[in-house]
Amino acid sequence: MPLTTHRLTFYYDCLSPFSCFAHFVLKRYQNIWPIELVYKPFLLGGVMAGSGNLPPAIKPGAAAQRAINMQDFQRNRGYFRVPMLPTPSNFFGPEGPADKSGLARDMRYQRLLTAIQLDYPNKVMAATTQVFDLIHLGEKYRDIDNNVVITNEVLEAVCVSVGIPKETCTRIHDDDVKNALKTTTKEALEKGAFGAPTIIVSKINSSKEDEQIYFGSDRFEQLCCTHDFPWVGPCPDHPTAKI
């Protein structure tokens, strides 16, 4: 592993498909880049509300962009080599982004990741992979209407899959977990986040003024150029760069 010179902080919500793409890139490069990698789950809804941002699906002009967005999604699946399923039907509830029946207002999975971050920080990346599988990749979690079904048993299985007690999922009801998730969301907003993922890179022991902030999953080439990190595409085992 290279000598660690930088800290890369990953603010994300597993609801975000672009956070999913970025997560797999970070997993692949974590031992190639000279970084201390810090995962910080936050609430995308809180960041959107706090920054005044709107979900892409309801922004002005969303209908005009629908065709290219659908094609872009398919291109990203191939480019990132992440076999993501179509967007869950219950991404939002029937009444829109504020509908509490939708995944966008279901805080359980982000609270679970926050609990794991607090109690088992070395397991948070692996648990994040499992939650992304739950929401975006795993057909077994979808019903016949393409809804993602999250139950206590599903959350317990996330814990068991990464080698921690299944009882950890009861921590989603604890005040310290709820407060930690709110604090991380506020922290991300203060650093300039307006969506997910938000990535902060700085040299170890540098000042806040030296932080570089990146939004989305399509800035890795720029990130690597800025910090002199190696980059051969989103999957180093299948380079896209050509000489």
Instruction: Go through the domains of the chain in sequence order and give each one's CATH number.
Output: 6-227 (3.40.30.10)
Q: Give pLDDT tens digits for 54-96.
A: 877 777 777 888 888 889 999 999 999 999 999 999 999 998 8
| Average pLDDT rounded to a whole number, residues 191-205 | 95
Query: Model-level pTM?
Result: 0.94
Q: Give pLDDT tens digits for 144-196.
A: 999 999 999 999 999 999 999 999 999 999 999 999 999 999 999 999 999 99
Query: For residue 128, which of 151, 105, 162 has the smallest C-alpha distance?
Result: 162
pLDDT at 243: 47
